[in-house]
Amino acid sequence: MKAVVNFSGGRGNVELRDVPVPEIGPHDVLLKVKGAGVCGSDLHMYHDIQGFPVKRPVTLGHEFSGIVADVGSEVKGFQVGDRVVSETPAYVCGVCIYCRTGQYNLCPDRRGFGVLEDGAMAEYVKTRDAIVHKIPDGVSFEKAALTEPCCVAYNAVAHHSRIRPGDYVVVFGPGPIGLLCVQIAKLFSPGQLTIVGTQRDKNRLEVAKQFGADTVIVAEEQDVVQEVLSYGDGFGPDLVLDAVGISITLKQAIDVVRPAGQITKIGWGPAPVDFSLDPLIQKAARLQGSFSHNYPMWEKVLLMMAKGEIDPLPMSKVYSMENWKEAFDEMDSLQHAKSVLVPNP
């Protein structure tokens, strides 16, 4: 079968290759892939600038939807022909305290698709029955392929953040996760929803407005801290969602967050922070990390997709698998926020 493979370290070492169709075990499900989202982490691996270990060669892709093509002998609840999506942890230990309490996204032995295990930018992918979900009627494969980033945003906004109607909310970064944070935060009826980006983000900032942002701040054209603090009583936002992986946005978040407010950090990168956290302490503000997602979140997000409350497609463009490089490069150049690969029928 054809697959998009990151075959070795080094910039640009990705190509379309012929690889074997995965063999399944008793609790595995084989999916015929119908859509695979391109994540920022895929682009980082493409450029070999990722801040995490990678097992190469590896088939890329951890955001995907498909049709069940085969099931293992012990699989119950799924059959050939079902329309499904899969979560991202290809392997978890199943016995640590985090696995036993449903927080398997924090399992220390977790291995994700497209990084430490072969992923879904291929004609077929093997996954575990425990992390498969049926796609509701009316949700397309292209939309369902983006359930994973929707769940990342849902976890950050709805689970890890304290957000109430009327709150002042600021999002740093109009990448895919930042844009989806805007869409989900809007469901909480914030009093003001602001997004901060750069001049290169022009197209994505327009999507942010479409997703419900009330105000857009362009970093090169405005004083970010001054503009954020100019709203309301001047004490700053109740909640800051930092979806950028550089230190300057975290510093700005600390500068603007309201005393006793919250910063939820989603974006990450390998560079050191390199500034004092004393202002965070003085404000008695909360700094909360948010990573990945778990089973109940997927069920909720899929239902919200079916109701039209979450829709990632307006920020996306669909490509054939053969045009993977165009999909990578156009997303990388910020022409749009998200690329989705679709294998040939």
- As a whole number of angstroms, the distance between CA 26 and CA 36 comes to 25
In the chain, what are the domain boundaries? 2-150+292-342, 161-289
Tell me what the mean pLDDT of segment 324-330 comes to: 98
What pLDDT shows up at residue 268? Answer: 87
Fold of 2-150+292-342: Quinone Oxidoreductase; Chain A, domain 1 (3.90.180)
- What is the CATH superfamily name and number for domain 161-289? NAD(P)-binding Rossmann-like Domain (3.40.50.720)
Mean pLDDT along residues 34-59: 95
Rounded to 10 deg, the angle between the 176-186 and 202-211 helix axes is 20
What is the rounded (10 degree) CA torsion for 70, 75, 80, 84?
A: -100
- Single out the residue of 180, 161, 175, 189 nearest to residue 305, CA to CA: 180
- 271/112: higher pLDDT: 112
Name the residue with tokens 């989202």. Answer: 37
Rounded to an integer, the average pLDDT of 198-220 is 97
What is the predicted pLDDT for the residue at 272?
A: 85
pLDDT for res 284: 98
pLDDT at 345 over 80: no
Asked whether the domain spanning 161-289 has the same topology as the one spanning 2-150+292-342, the reply is no
Q: Compute the average pLDDT of residues 153-161.
A: 98
> What pLDDT sits at residue 19?
98
Pairing state between β 192-197 and 168-172: parallel
